[in-house]
Structures are given as structure tokens and as C-alpha cells.
Amino acid sequence: MKVATFVIIALFALSSLALAVSPSNVMPVKEAQINDPGQPDGREGGETIETAWTIYALPFADTGNTCDNINDYDEWCPYTGSTSPDVVYAYEPPYDMCVSISLCDSYYDTKVYVYENGWTPGEFVACDDDNFNCVNPPVSYTSWIESVELFAGNTYYIVVDGYGGGCGDYVLYMEEIECVGPCDVICVGVPEGEPTCYDEYDDHFNGGCNAVPPVFSIQPVGDMTVCGESGVFMFGGLTYRDTDWYKIYPCGGAPISITVEAEFGVLFGFVSGIEDCLAPAFYSYLTAEPCVPTTLTEYLPYGAFAIFVSTYDWNTLWECGMEYSLTIEGYTEHCDPTPVEDTTWSTIKSLYR
């Protein structure tokens, strides 16, 4: 088993915001969207790559309605099985550039993908289903490819699609943005010790309340930096993320700070309710973009907590083996009421002697 029963039950009651900040490792089931498809109006892009609507210059904005189209394309990013109608745009960059492609302001559950010079299923340049960084979208689960690099001399096809069989009014906005260099975290500290995840990986290392039985790394008292990995993988046909849980027993009253820098979009924070794992929930949390060091400081009360680190969504672009640095400061007292048998740092360090 990958996930405790309480996690599975709780997922069906989560809002779109909670989907983005759940400490679960399995990708939650999306709520059904009730969309007004509007009236087909002929404004949208082309039906297929062969008949794609050409974008001649950036920035570019267009609106349309997909309900009078048919289903031509689908990609796993990370949901698949879509039968939604889709439309296509084409763009030939005059020079190498990075662009943002947004469907944030659309009125149905969208998907968007980019192909280079043609269509081969599964071989997309970029793909997004749900981007929770969209600001005040009209409905939940709109899409946004925040950055993708395009190269001169190629034709790129932008496919506006939907989740499930959904269709409706979309708003497409594409603009050139500044290219950001490769994200490479250089961590100096204690190795986490967990094997790199992979498809069909069964996490029994420090999966916390997502493991059966629960298992944590016990964080020793004192300031230290942990060098870990995370990523998204498939297990039993479902999409999971590697979640890392470091158990602490603060005595209360003193501030504890955690700073995370990751090669992926990261979700991290303090999780309560971990002693019986019946209802674990974030006491506080933050998210950060790749290679942006971010600090969270909290005055935790007495009790058991976990420091949690994982990807902030189930985007398959976050490949297993992507690294992060976790620096813990201010954990000066350890009020452990009971003996523990979880993964200890002495056993982790022994792997690297």
C-alpha cells in the first residue's frame, strides 16, 4: 500500500487550494467542474496542427470556445484520458527565446501543451494541466506553462485542450519572458540517505504518514543542513510524489526556522497530527519556485511535528532525483515523550562511510 486510508478519504473533500498544499504523496482526484460551455462562435484556433492558427508576433492574446471542435490530442501531464475538444496555434520564433503560455483566465478545466515541428504522442516540449500559481482564475484547475524555451528555425504548436470531456471559453495569452538559467542546488550537509525514487517506487524510508506503517527520519537537536531529493513518479497507474518527513519534538516557546532551496517547485512546512497519522495537516507551510531559497519561521508548541519537504504539485517535469537543501535552525531542545524506532541519522550516515 502507498497511502494510509485516512489520506484517501480526506482527498475527496479538499478544495482546489487544499489540493496544492496537501501533505499526501498521491495525486488527488480532481473535483468535477460544472462549466457553462457558452456558444460556439468560431473565434478559436485551428482544429489540428495542419490547420493551426498562426501567431505572427508576441505578445499574443486570443479568446475562443472549444465546444464546437473535436478531440484530436491528449497528453499525460499528469492526468490523461481526456476526450475534450481542442484547438491549435502555431508560432515560429524569430530567435531563441523563452515564453509564457497562459490559460489562467479561462472558464473551464483546461490543459495546454507545446509540440515542436509536429505531433508524436508523449513527445511534447512542455505541458501543463493545473497551475495553482494562477491568480484569481474564474474557475479551478486552469493552466499555465510559466516558461518554455523555443528555438529559431522551428515551428511550435500550442494545443488548447481540456480535462476529461470539458470544453468552454478559453483565454490564451502568450508573451516573451526572460530566460532563467538551469537550476542547480549545491548542498553541503548531511545526506538524506533515501534512494532515488523511480516508477513503481514504494517509499518505506521517510514517507511519514504516507507510508504504511508510518516512518520518519528523526531530526537531531541542533542547527544542521540536510541534502535530500524529491520527484514525481508513477505507481500502480497513479501519480505520486516523494514526500520527506523529518520528525521533531519541540518543547515550545522558541522559534524554529527552516530554509529550503530546491531544483523543483517546492512545498515545505511543519505538519501536526503525526503521532497517530489519523489527520495530519499543515501547521504552517510555504511554496517556492526552483532555486529560490525560502525561509519559514514558527513558534511551535510542545508536541510532535514533522518538517515536510516535497514538490508543490504532481507535475511530471519534477523528475526523481532532483535535489534540495533543507537548513534547520533554532531546534535547541528535544522533548521526546517516548522511545522511537524510526530512521535515525546514525544509520543514514553509516550509508556514506
Dump pLDDT digits (tens) for 132-161.
889 999 999 999 999 899 999 999 999 999
Structure confidence at residue 31 (pLDDT): 63
26, part of any domain:
no
Please state the rounded mean pLDDT for residues 162-171: 95
Q: Note whether 66 and 98 are same-domain residues.
A: yes
Residue with cell 531530526: 219
Give domain status of residue 17, yes or no.
no
Q: How confident is residue 329, by pLDDT bands cut at 50, 70 and 90?
A: very high
Q: What pLDDT digit, counting tens, does each position of 66-97 carry?
A: 999 999 999 988 777 889 999 999 999 999 99
Express each pLDDT in 45-70 by its tens digit.
Answer: 899 999 999 999 999 999 999 999 99
131 with 280, same domain: the answer is no
Single out the residue in 113, 143, 177 at which a domain terminates: 177
Residue 69 burial (C-beta neighbours within 10 Å; 0-12, 13-18, 19+)? buried
**What ranges make up the beta strands (E) of 71-223?**
87-91, 97-102, 110-116, 126-128, 144-150, 156-162, 169-177, 190-191, 217-218
pLDDT of residue 220: 94
Split at pLDDT 50, 70, 90, the class of 353 is: very low
**pLDDT tens digit string along 239-294?**
899 999 999 999 998 999 999 999 999 999 999 999 999 999 999 999 998 999 99
Amino acid identity, residue 305?
F
133: alpha, beta or left, given left = phi > 0 and alpha = psi -120 to 50? alpha
Q: How far apart are CA 14 and CA 9, in angstroms?
A: 10
pLDDT beyond 60 at 20: no
What was the pLDDT predicted at 43? Answer: 54
- CATH number for the domain spanning 266: value is 2.60.120.510
What local confidence, expressed as pLDDT, does residue 196 receive?
97
Angle at 26 between CA 164 and CA 276, to 5 degrees: 140
Q: Is residue 192 part of a domain?
A: yes
Q: 259 lies in a domain?
A: yes
Could you tell me which of 159, 94, 163 has the C-alpha nearest to residue 131?
163
Structural domain of residue 215, as residue ranges? 183-350
| CATH code: domain of residue 145 | 2.60.120.380
At 169, list the grid cell: 471559453
Per the DSSP assignment, residues forming a β-bridge with 306 are: 247, 271
